[in-house]
Structure 1
């Protein structure tokens, strides 16, 4: 009678230990998934930011080229070219700052 009681108690404790191990493993897997999602979100944010800057630079180049073409036919539109040049300088500066923030150094 005693031995069966001891065996039953041992089985119950083993089952409880297994449950604890399973719960800990589930928690670890959930933490890993959360960390991976955070990493993906951070990477997507950085890539989106870089893509936005590249898009802005391309838009400025196109508008600069169009404005220069217009200026050849009408010199009074030169103010728009100056405005596009200030945009170009601002975006170049932003790219430099982003490079400093990401790498600790500039792209230059």
Structure 2
């Protein structure tokens, strides 16, 4: 995410939109690409550049350590599957999207 923040780009994180919509509806919800980019949703990080207005969870010690000492990798795209597998890539978004779709 730091690579996207440093470029002033959209984070495009589904989890922030899920957080906001779940709070509005009082239950867990699935989100669409349209909702992730909705400029009316303050937590839609595909519609607003930078971080959401508030945290959406309590970060673990490992997460805080990662922010304080980020890797020098140039990853720009990432995907976490339901099984916990994570994929990272620095370019070629279309190829990466196919990889992620194949593992969900």
- What's the TM-score bracket when you normalise by the shorter of the two chains? under 0.3
- TM-score normalised by L of structure 2: 0.23
**Greater relative contact order (CA < 8 Å, ≥ 6 in sequence):** 2
- TM-score normalised by L of structure 1: 0.22
Greater share of residues in strand: 2
Whose radius of gyration is greater, 1 or 2? 1
